[in-house]
Amino acid sequence: MEKNKKILIIEDDTKIQRYLFLELTHENYIVDVVDNGIEGLNKLNENEYSLILLDLMLPNISGEEVCKKIREQSNIPIIILTAKDELFSKISLLDLGADDYITKPFNIQELFARMRVIFRNKKDVINKNFLGFKNIKINLDTKEVFFNEELIKLTKTEYNLLHYLLLNSNIVLSREKILENVWGYDFIGDSKIVDMYIKALRKKLNCNNDIIKTVRGFGYTLQ
């Protein structure tokens, strides 16, 4: 059970607002709810939050624009709430500053799991410019990757794949999920490309199956 963590929900659908409010308060989160981006930005200026749940489709000002404005003033974690038919790639959301996203309708336990991962990763951040997990470290400003303090050169796609695995550490990710979030919804090709890039990552990190684990029949996980 989470205590003293304050969550800001920026969502204009009243049913989703109430659902999230009830479920989060049941888990002992402190919750504020607003139905538009302008009020959300005002709330952020008035209060300190541990995480923001941000809808993309908002009145007056879009979720993307809200995300940009938040990032201009804060490093607070952001999870995007979005409908399945909204076309975007995980990388474009990361470029905006989001930490993760979840599609509607969603399972509340999956959302809780993603929130726990973000809170856990926040503890692993050496400073605001680094993301770390065990002996892997990413400089988010320079896009440099270090393994056992040694600089590892990765391609852009290898970097994006490793970044996504780090953000979802200890969560089993299917090939389809990885394709969707790293390559994008519009990717046309064989899902085996994920296996090829996982193999390349393992080789460059010299970690075989001991960190990037294969979960047979399901996909991959960083443990």
d(CA 183, CA 100): 15
pLDDT at position 31:
95
| CA atoms within 13 A of residue 216's CA, in its CB half-sphere | 0
CATH topology of domain 6-122: Rossmann fold (3.40.50)
Q: Grade residue 11 by pLDDT with cuts at 50, 70 and 90.
A: very high
Q: From the options 1.10.10.10, 3.30.479.30, 1.10.3720.10, 2.130.10.10, give the CATH code of 125-222.
A: 1.10.10.10
pTM, 2 dp: 0.56
pLDDT at position 85:
54
Winning range, highest mean pLDDT, from 67-76, 128-137, 187-196: 67-76
Asked whether the predicted pLDDT for residue 68 surpasses 60, the reply is yes
Torsion sign across C-alpha atoms 33, 35, 36, 38: negative
The residue ranges of every structural domain in the chain are: 6-122, 125-222
Q: Grade residue 126 by pLDDT with cuts at 50, 70 and 90.
A: very low
pLDDT at position 14:
94
CA distances from 214 to 160, 178, 205 (A): 19, 13, 16
Torsion sign across C-alpha atoms 174, 94, 101, 221: positive
Asked whether the predicted pLDDT for residue 125 surpasses 60, the reply is no
SS3 121: helix
Q: Spell out the alpha helix ranges (H) of 74-220.
A: 90-96, 108-124, 156-167, 175-178, 192-205
Residue in the block written with tokens 């994006």: 160
